[in-house]
Amino acid sequence: MKFSLEWLKDYLETDASVAEISAKLNAIGIEVEGIEDPADKLAGFRVAEVLTAAPHPDADKLQVLTVSTGEGDPLTVVCGAPNARAGMKGVLGLPGAVVPANGMQLRKSAIRGVESNGMMCSVRELELGDAHEGIIELPADAPVGADFAAWHGASPVFDVAITPNRPDCMGVMGIARDLAAAGVGTFKPAQVAQIAGEGAIAMPIAIAPDADCSAWYGRSIAGVSNGPSPEWMQRRLLAAGQRPISALVDCTNYLMLATGRPAHVYDLARLTGSMVARRAREGEAVEALNEKTYTLDDSITVIADDAGVHDIAGIMGGAHSSVQDDTTDVLLEIAYFDPEAIGVSGRKLGLATDARTRFERGVDPAFLDDGLAILTDLIVQTCGGRPSEVTRVGQPPVEPKVIGFDPALTAKLGGVEVPEAEQRRILQSLDFGVSADWQVTCPPRRHDIEGPADLVEEVVRIHGLDMVESVALPRAEGVARPTATPAQKLERRLRRAAAARGLNEAVTWSFLPVPAAEHFADGEAALWLLDNPISEDMKAMRPSLIPGLLAAAKRNADRGADTARLFEIGRRYLRRPDGASDERLTLAVVLAGARVQRGWAQGKAQAFDAYDAKAEAEALLAEAGAPVANLMVMGDAGDQFHPGQSGTLRLGPKTVLARFGALHPATLAAFDSDGPVMAVELFLDAIPARRGKGGFARPAYSPPALQSVTRDFAFLVPRDLPAGDLLRAVRGADKATIVDARVFDVFAGQGVPEGRKSVAVEVTLQPGEASFKDADLKAISDAVVAAAAKLGAELRG
């Protein structure tokens, strides 16, 4: 939010400097993001008087002016403005000055053979407005030679960040109140004019029972004359980043920025029948002031007449009833809308406006009458007209909240000692009522105050956040003990392992679009949907980490990346049928693009396949301490995976530790991704904890005293038998001596019976106290063959 020092002083009587005000704003929790002084941009521009104006000798549309700056000889200036004439006063940019609008540095130059010593400037060139038909014409009493910025009243502009819990500071007046409470001057409330209305409102107004609007105050003004707003108003709006439009529109914007109270003005001639705040009918449409048409549903509150919708309530007005240059009669609207409903409607429509920001955070429900009176006075002062009496429909929620407060809480919760008298003064200066027994009555505009802790925050913040002493937490003597939990240690170890395998860590949102979340929702667990999401694309809590990584891989591919190796560790969120939350720690990996780039040795680029995904899953599970040698490879990885190129790793039939493989073409289509894409999901919470106190600590490596022995076996097995099952059986044949087994060849074809395949396995045997004898090796071999035979395998001859 931006505002000028000039504007602030309308509500704050102070002699404090810009630096002092900035420091105090930061101290009371209103962060100053920047300060801009327009006078810096207007350096080198002077008030000047045109003494003579004559046609340029070599250009039809140019004039040669002699200009006085009040000192020295008059200067010659070449000017193309049609309104340049002798006797007028304007703004002269001297050589060396920089034109704010385009950054051009002025210098002496010859224009068609005539030397020009600067430039007479227009409003647009100095960024004081949009007018550019001619140069600025200053009043006759403007002092020639004066610095234009100083004469014009250029005022420093503050840019502050207002936190969502402080809607009362979304206007200059609210900020002035806080500064005054902190001792920077005296607060001056807005002057509320007493408007004597004449007759009834020109158009009846009403509130439908289903509307999210508790109060609507309005009046009509007849005989207004619309046009440009006063220069002082335009100057303040420009400082706040608002573009002046017309007097009627500028008055409503001025009220909103000054007091935090949005309002709307309608052209009465464009309305029909009566006006009502109601819910939109399904499919109703309205063209808004941004020239876009919005289709509404029956959850959105609107302001409509007998002919149709004219305003998306609390968010944006409609183009049809907007005021124009020829508007003569207007209807004013100041209402109180339900904050939550405004937020929901704004997100549905994708509309972010200044009015919505204030309404959804909560405006002052007690400021309707005063706001309407101030707006009426602004319009009458700038546009004339005859206001009607005020019509009030509904009742705003102005019932004050009363909180019992103990001043001792300030030291206990805030960490700073503040005398009780000072605490009472601070609260009263912020418009809180404080009784003798510390019953605190909150002003209705302070929606953020819910209990005693909030009152402590108010006291501490106005007393000065910089007054809270930094105190270190107590620390026990000696070497600090480790504080990381086993889960945290596991996450750190897996991050290092994944990075060492060439994977890049990504951190994605915990929220997803509903369709994406539904695509990855499995089983009986339902999704968690947010009532107040950041946006509609972040409405569902993620049931899996894969969608976020898949979207990240697509963004990288769209920007030319030919490969993506991403991983993330985080939680997925599910809702059980009984309503309980089910949060699970998972690690997800996405492999997309080329695994091996094209080259002279290997030829074409090679894409990732399901075996790459399986290798990542097994390696990371091993790092996590899972008994990888005992895992079973089974199907049913989920509908999101390709059924022929995916699987699960299980510890027993029911305990799923991971799923891996190629994503289904339907999944890739849903995420607009090009395939193939491999994915891995490890369910870290399902990994059984190691027994004993050692946790995951590994014993020191001690090489065996005797050399290992390898033996090869070639088995004929059923064609559909997974090789992993055979390996598991072989390893279990003699757990004391068989330390490893791996498949080194698979063959099916000539010489192999129909329905069978040949699987060759290399078995590594490790002797213990003594070397193997022939009888020992034969006994182990017989045990291996017997174990394989239980799976229908036979030793190949």
In the annotated binding site, the residues are: 448, 454, 457-458
The residue to which tokens 């340029």 are assigned: 56
Question: Which residue bears the tokens 């947010």?
Answer: 530
Task: Give phi and psi for 78, each to the nearest 5.
Answer: -90, 130
State the DSSP string of 141-183: TSPTT-BHHHHHT---EEEEEPPTT-GGGSSHHHHHHHHHHTT
Q: Indicate the helix (H) or strand (E) that contains 364.
A: none
Question: For residues 139 and 134, what is the distance between their CA atoms, to the nearest angstrom?
Answer: 15
Indicate the DSSP class of residue 307: S
Residue environment code for 68-97, b if the CB has 16+ CB neighbours within 10 A, otherwise e: bbeeeebbbbbbebeebeeebbbbbbbeeb
Cβ-Cβ contacts under 8 Å for 712 (sequence gap 6 or more): 744, 760, 761, 762, 763
Question: Taking phi first (over 0 means left), then psi (-120 to 50 degrees means alpha), and beta for anything else, what does residue 690 get?
Answer: beta
Judge whether 600 and 611 are in contact, CB under 8 Å: no
Q: Are 408 and 273 in contact (CB under 8 A)?
A: no
Residue 754 CA: distances (Å) to CA of 92, 330, 751, 760 = 99, 91, 9, 18
Q: Angle formed by the axes of helices 231-239 and 247-259, to 10°?
A: 50
The whole-angstrom separation of Cα 84 and Cα 277 is 52
Place of tokens 């409609």: 318
Separation of alpha carbons 347 and 351, rounded Å: 7
> Cα 23–24–26 angle (5° rounding)?
70
Q: Which residues are annotated as a binding site for Mg(2+)?
A: 448, 454, 457-458
Residue 100 CA to residue 41 CA, distance in Å, equals 6
Q: Do 333 and 216 contact (CB within 8 A), yes or no?
A: yes
Provide the 8-state DSSP code for 352: -
Helices (H), ranges, 482-563 = 486-500, 514-519, 546-558
Bond from prior residue into 676 cis (ω within 30 degrees of 0): yes
How distant, in Å, are the alpha carbons of 14, 398, 449, 744 from that of 168?
A: 21, 15, 12, 74
Q: Phi/psi of residue 341, each to 5°?
A: -65, -40
What does the DSSP 8-state code read for residue 794? E
Give the residue ranges of DSSP H helices in 624-710.
Answer: 665-670
CA distances from 775 to 15, 164, 270, 734 (A): 103, 81, 106, 15
Report d(CA 793, CA 727) in Å as an integer. Answer: 12
Tokens coding 370: 């005063």
Q: How far apart are CA 381 and CA 189, in angstroms?
A: 19
Distance CA 239, CA 518 (A): 47
**277: β partners:** 207, 303
Whole-number Å distance between alpha carbons of 82 and 104: 22
* Exposed e or buried b per residue across 550-562, where buried means at least 16 C-beta atoms within 10 angstroms of its C-beta: bbbbbebbeeeee
Q: Going by C-beta distance under 8 Å and a sequence separation of 6 or more, which residues neighbour residue 60? A: none
CA 178 centroid distance within chain:
27
> E strand or H helix at 461, and its extent?
helix 452-464
